[in-house]
Each structure stands twice: as structure tokens, then as C-alpha cells.
Amino acid sequence: MIPADWTPHRRDDGELVGWIRPEGDDWVAMDLFGRPASEAGDWLDAEAVLEERGLSWLAEVWMLEQEDGEPLRVRIAEVTPGAVGRPGRVVVHTDDFGAIDVPYERIALEWPAPAALRPRRTDDPDGRLFG
């Protein structure tokens, strides 16, 4: 659920890129996963962080940590923050490496996105290499 004191921030074309929330006398940029994207500071700095970040970061490969094995390579399929007082969700699917004939698994996660969903690191398994 989006807290009532979060202010939506949109690009010039109207697309939501995040929120700005109060923290004491300062402001924090929050990304579409509901995670902090900046340190507490000036409102204009929080806006600048969201503008610079945009939406392209969602297109990257992500990793979903699993309790019983290696992390899964996933792609973001949907981010639905919900609304004030209503739950949202983040939907990912296993990375198909661009193939159109490979089945993939869709996984629905709670919003804000759990810490188990994280950016890919250079030491993560490739997924295309078998050993």
C-alpha cells in the first residue's frame, strides 16, 4: 500500500517514475518498487534522482533469491503499486534470454518489492552456462 504522505512523481509524458516522501524536514525519492532511491535531502534533489533514474532500470536482468537454491534470473513483467490503502504487486518471469518458444514461469511478489528481488551482480550465475 502506498502511504498517504507519498507524493507521486511523473515524467513530462505523465508516466509514474516514483514518489517523494517526507522524512523529518527532508524528502526521500522512492522508486517504483517502493524502495528508497535517494538519501534524505531537498525536494528538488529527490525529483532529480527520479528523473535521472527514469524507467530503464526496470528492463535490466534481476535476480530473485530463493530459500532452497541458486537465485533465479528474472525480468520485470509488471509493477502495480496499488493505491493509497490498497495492496500492489510486482510480477517477474524467469529470464527466457529473448527466445519466443521457451516457456517461462511468472512469479507474483508483494509490493513493496521484497529484498529477495535484487539487481544482477557480476558474480551471479549466468543461466546460459551449464556445468
More confident residue, 70 or 23: 23
**What is the reported pLDDT for 93?**
92
Q: Which three cell numbers stand for residue 106?
A: 511468472
**What is the reported pLDDT for 131?**
44
Looking at residues 34-47, what average pLDDT do you find?
Answer: 97
**What is the reported pLDDT for 87?**
85
76, containing H or E segment: strand 69-80
How would residue 104 be classed by pLDDT, with cut points 50, 70 and 90?
confident
Residue whose cell numbers read 503499486 = 81
Q: Which DSSP letter does residue 128 get?
A: S
Task: Please check the confidence at residue 99 and state whether its pLDDT lies above 70.
Answer: no
User: Whole-number mean pLDDT of the chain?
Assistant: 89
- Whole-angstrom Cα distance, residue 51 to residue 66? 32
**What is the reported pLDDT for 130?**
44
Give me the percent of the chain exceeding a pLDDT of 90.
68
Task: Please check the confidence at residue 32 and state whether its pLDDT lies above 90.
Answer: yes
- Whole-angstrom Cα distance, residue 131 to residue 124? 14
